[in-house]
Structure formats: C-alpha cells, structure tokens
C-alpha cells in the first residue's frame, strides 16, 4: 500500500486515528468481497463513490448480485440501514414519510419514511413511477426532505445505493434526467468469472456460504464522516482542474451528443478522484485517478443522438465511445507533475 503523503494541515486531522483509514477501507473491501466473489474493482468503485459523498446506481441483468453488493456495503459501513423495494403502486409518501393523526395528542405527527437512514437501498428503482422517483431528488442533492411544508434533515452520513434492471425489461420506467445526474456513479457488476462462480457454488454445496447480513461493520459512521472530510482535502493540481473543465466543455460542443456534462458532473468527477486517491493512501490526485473514475462518473450523464446508442438502452453505446474519444483527444499532464506539487507550497518538490 502506498504510504499517505498529506501535508501538515491534513496530518493534524489524521494524527488521532487509532488505525490507519486506509487499513479500515481495505478491510471494508475485503469483507464485501467475501460475499461478492471476484468483483473487487466494482466494490472499490462503489466505495469510492460513497467516500466521495455520492450515490451509486447499479445497473445490470437480474441475478448477478446487485442487491447483494448494496446490502454488503451497507453492512460493512455500519449505521442504520433500510431497504425500499420499489413497485409500480408506490407513492412518494412511502419513501419520505407523511403525517398521521395521533388520537392521543389530537394532532398530526410526522411518521418517518425509510429514506431516514444512513444507507438506503432503493431496490429496482426503475419499477416505480416517475412521480415516486422524483421524491428522491431533494434527498439525494440537499440531504433533506420536505413533508407538509416542513423540511427535515436526513441522518449523517446519508448514501443511496439504487439497483435497476436494463430499461428493455418489461415493467420498468426510465429515471428522470435530473435524477440520473444526481447519481455520482453508474456501475455494472457483470457475470462472474468461471473460477469465481465455481467457488460460489462450492460454498453453497458445503453450507459455508456467507450472506451480507452476517458481515460486521468495518467502519463506524463517525469514522466515515472524518474520512469523507479528509478525502476532500486531497490536493488537486490546477492542470487537472483545467482538464476536467476541458472535457466538460468538449462534451457540450460535441455534434455526437444531445446533452453534455453538467457542472455537477465535473464536481462529482473531482470528488471521486480525490476519494480514489485517499483509498490509495495519497494526499494528492494523480491523472490516473481521473482516468480510473471518469467513465463510471460521466457516461450515464450523456445522451447520444438517435442511432448512436449502440445495443440499446442497457448499453452505454455511442455516448461511451464519444466520451472515450474526448478523454483521449485532450492532453493530460504527466503523473510526475501532479504528484510533485505540495498543497502547502504549490511548487515542485
């Protein structure tokens, strides 16, 4: 593991850790991987988004472990966990809660909805109506909900992990564009490798299969909040910030894309790169951190013109290829230049 390289200011906030944050985060990955075999990179990207304070959308065919990954991450993180199974007849009040008449007090009282938790699993989110999906917009961005004219803050930390099947499956509804933009990452698990699937079946055959609910927390909510704050202190060279802006502007000018990247997309890309560097034990962001997180953060926010979407709604298609071309076309600074600047002095070491 790469040794942390934080300046004096950041070290002042890190010196009281009884155990290295990077050790705790690697333990988090290991515990989740014990139930989702062979998907370490997907788990790491999910952890990166959560550490950056973002929400994750898991999109894949049924049966590959979307709900298992979400549940395992929630268990490893600790805090209060709630699961919402979205159906076609759900109403917004089923998510955010509502007012109920209390006969004893003779007044209306607020009944919290399942959104009031540290980690919320929105299972098969695209099986409910757009009206109910829109109930999540305020919670995802502002971290509070408004019920009967009164605003109520969500617990800290708050993270939403949503799963959905590809849109060409019967009984699904596309997520509103505004909601898609509020997911920091869209990830796909994919089918397991042959050796991992064999291990999975062997665990079931021997009765040794570990389920997500058996996992112990690797991190406590208070520790998680400290980690999120520290991750945002990772130094980002001005040339890397300029690169993010150039990619965003190029997507807006592209004649192959209907919609380009929003300023929120650039912010999320920055936060994801900082969190990725923090997991690696670095106090500065490398170009490789941007490249590693770019597609997961950006692709689901882009829409290609009709005929450019490849294999259908479930595939990234033309938008993905266009983004890759933009990223390759814009020059990116060498990693040694990025790591050679200290946040305190702003000069090459």
pLDDT for the residue numbered 288: 94
∠ at Cα 187 (185, 192), nearest 5°? 160
Of 330, 297, 302, the C-alpha closest to 316 is 302
Q: At what angle do helices 287-298 and 40-51 cross, to 10 degrees?
A: 90
By three-state DSSP, how is residue 53 classified? coil
pLDDT tens, 193-203? 999 999 999 99
∠ at Cα 191 (185, 197), nearest 5°? 130
CB 212 within 8 A of CB 69: no
61 pLDDT tier (thresholds 50, 70, 90):
confident
Using CA atoms, how far apart are residues 196 and 341, in angstroms rounded to an integer? 42
pLDDT tens, 311-338? 333 334 578 888 888 888 898 876 555 5
DSSP-derived secondary structure for 168-211: TSTT--PPPHHHHTT-SEEE---PPPHHHHHHHHHHHHHT-PPP
Rg (CA), the chain: 21
146 pLDDT tier (thresholds 50, 70, 90):
confident
User: In this structure, how many other beta carbons lie within 10 angstroms of the beta carbon of residue 218?
Assistant: 21
**Distances in Å between the alpha carbon of 48 and those of 121, 236, 272?**
17, 16, 6
**Section 56-85 average pLDDT:** 88
First to last CA, the chain: 22
Place of tokens 């869209």: 186
Q: What contacts 15, CB < 8 A, 6 or more positions away? A: none
Of 134, 132, 148, 33, the C-alpha closest to 85 is 132
Buried b (16+ CB within 10 A) or exposed e, 104-131: eeeeeeeeebbbbbbbbbbbbbbbbeee
Q: At what angle do helices 317-329 and 238-253 cross, to 10 degrees?
A: 130
**Both tokens of residue 119?**
């980690």
Mean pLDDT of the chain: 84
275: phi then psi, degrees, rounded to nearest 5: -65, -40
DSSP state for residue 284 in the 8-state scheme = B
β-strand partners of 162: 57, 122
pLDDT tens, 112-139? 889 999 889 998 888 888 888 878 888 8
77 pLDDT tier (thresholds 50, 70, 90):
confident
Distance of CA 334 to the CA centre of its chain: 27
pLDDT tens, 157-213? 899 999 887 766 667 777 888 888 999 999 999 999 999 999 999 999 998 898 888
């Amino acid at each position: 593991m790469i040794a942390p390289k934080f300046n004096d200011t950041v070290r002042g906030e890190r010196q009281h850790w009884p155990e290295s944050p990077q050790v705790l985060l690697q333990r988090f990955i290991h515990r989740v991987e014990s139930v989702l075999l062979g998907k370490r990179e997907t788990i790491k990207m999910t952890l990166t988004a959560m550490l950056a304070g973002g929400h994750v959308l898991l999109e894949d065919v049924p049966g590959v472990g979307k709900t298992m990954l979400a549940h395992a991450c929630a268990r490893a993180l600790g805090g209060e966990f709630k699961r919402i199974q979205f159906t076609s007849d759900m109403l917004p009040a089923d998510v955010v809660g509502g007012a109920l008449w209390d006969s004893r007090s003779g007044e209306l009282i607020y009944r919290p909805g399942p959104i009031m938790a540290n980690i919320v699993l929105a299972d098969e989110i695209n099986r409910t109506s757009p009206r109910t999906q829109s109930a999540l917009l305020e919670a995802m961005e502002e971290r509070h909900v408004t019920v009967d004219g009164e605003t109520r803050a969500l617990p800290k930390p708050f993270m939403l992990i949503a799963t959905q099947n590809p849109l060409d499956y019967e009984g699904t509804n596309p997520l509103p564009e505004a909601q898609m933009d509020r997911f920091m990452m869209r990830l796909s698990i994919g089918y397991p490798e042959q050796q991992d699937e064999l291990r999975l079946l062997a665990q079931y055959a021997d009765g040794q299969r570990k389920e997500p609910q058996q996992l112990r927390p690797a991190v406590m909510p208070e520790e998680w909040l400290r980690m999120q704050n520290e991750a945002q202190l990772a130094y980002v060279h001005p040339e890397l910030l300029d690169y993010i802006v150039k990619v965003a502007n190029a997507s807006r000018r592209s004649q192959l894309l209907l919609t380009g990247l929003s300023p929120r997309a650039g912010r999320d890309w920055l936060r994801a790169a900082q969190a990725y560097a923090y997991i690696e034990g670095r106090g500065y962001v490398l170009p490789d951190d941007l490249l590693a997180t770019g597609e997961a953060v950006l692709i689901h926010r882009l829409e290609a013109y009709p005929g450019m979407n490849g294999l259908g709604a479930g595939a990234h298609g033309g938008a993905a290829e266009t983004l890759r071309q933009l990223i390759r076309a814009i020059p990116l600074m060498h990693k040694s230049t990025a790591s050679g600047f200290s946040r305190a002095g702003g000069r090459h070491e």
